[in-house]
Each structure stands twice: as structure tokens, then as C-alpha cells.
């Protein structure tokens, strides 16, 4: 864990220092809250950041999480394929590799989907 004065980089959350204030009506604030919950955002701030990234062609938080999870699953499947090769034969190993490859393709599509929709 980083300590004050140690020169280590701060977490992304600790690097955020500026605040943006906007005036909205009570009903508009409720609408923002409903939209954030509908999108699965943990907060209004996270929702606003996702909307900004989406509008600018960057990946949203959800896309980053999904792409990361897909990559981890594909990596684990590749490890299983190596183990299956030695203990269960090449057929099972190839089936596991095929699933891992499908996940890798899906991961790439998730990562590139948002960028392509804004070009």
C-alpha cells in the first residue's frame, strides 16, 4: 500500500481531485439515479464517467470489466488445456482450446465494439 511521501503512484481514485457541479431539479436528479442503477453503475459519478467515455469512443467501465474477465477465463482454459493434454488426451485438450479461442475473439470484439461505433 502506498504511503504519503513514498513517491509511489496513487490509486486512480486518489488521483481524482477536481469536482464538477451541475444544477438539476429534484426530478432530474432522480432520473440520473434511475439511469445509473439501470446501467449497473455503482454511483452517479461512475455513471457520468462511463457516459463521457462512451461519448468519446473509449471503453466503459463495464466493457473493461467484461474484457478483463473474458481474458482471465480464456487464460485459465488454456492452462486446463495443457493439463488435459497430458492426463485426458488431445481431444479434450483441443475442445478446451477451442472454447478459449472463442472467448479470446469475444474479448477482442468487446474491446473494439465501442471504438467502432463512434468512428
Dihedral angle computed from the Cα positions of residues 23, 26, 27 and 31, in that order, rounded to the nearest 10 degrees: 70
How do residues 47-104 score in pLDDT, each as one tens digit? 888 888 778 777 777 777 888 888 888 888 888 877 777 777 777 777 878 888 888 8
pTM passes above 0.75: no
Q: How confident is the model at residue 118 (pLDDT cuts 50, 70, 90)?
A: very low
Residue 57 CA to residue 26 CA, distance in Å, equals 30
End-to-end Cα, the chain, rounded Å: 40
Would you state the cell numbers that stand for residue 14, as one nine-digit string? 486518489
List Cβ neighbours of 27 (8 Å cut-off, separation of 6 or more): none
Has residue 1 got a pLDDT over 60? no
Instruction: Give domain limits for the chain.
Output: 23-56, 57-119
Sequence-separated (6 or more) residues with CB below 8 Å from residue 3: none
Amino acid at each position: 500500500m502506498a504511503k504519503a511521501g513514498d513517491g509511489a503512484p496513487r490509486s486512480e481514485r486518489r488521483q481524482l481531485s477536481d469536482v464538477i457541479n451541475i444544477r438539476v431539479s429534484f426530478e432530474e436528479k432522480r432520473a440520473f439515479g434511475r439511469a445509473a442503477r439501470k446501467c449497473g453503475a455503482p454511483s452517479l459519478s461512475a455513471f457520468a464517467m462511463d457516459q463521457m467515455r462512451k461519448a468519446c469512443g473509449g471503453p466503459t467501465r463495464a466493457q473493461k470489466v467484461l474484457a478483463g474477465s473474458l481474458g482471465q477465463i480464456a487464460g485459465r482454459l488454456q492452462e486446463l488445456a495443457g493439463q488435459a493434454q497430458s492426463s485426458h488426451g488431445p481431444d479434450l485438450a483441443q475442445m478446451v482450446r477451442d472454447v478459449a479461442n472463442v472467448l479470446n475473439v469475444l474479448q477482442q470484439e468487446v474491446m473494439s465494439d465501442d471504438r467502432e461505433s463512434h468512428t
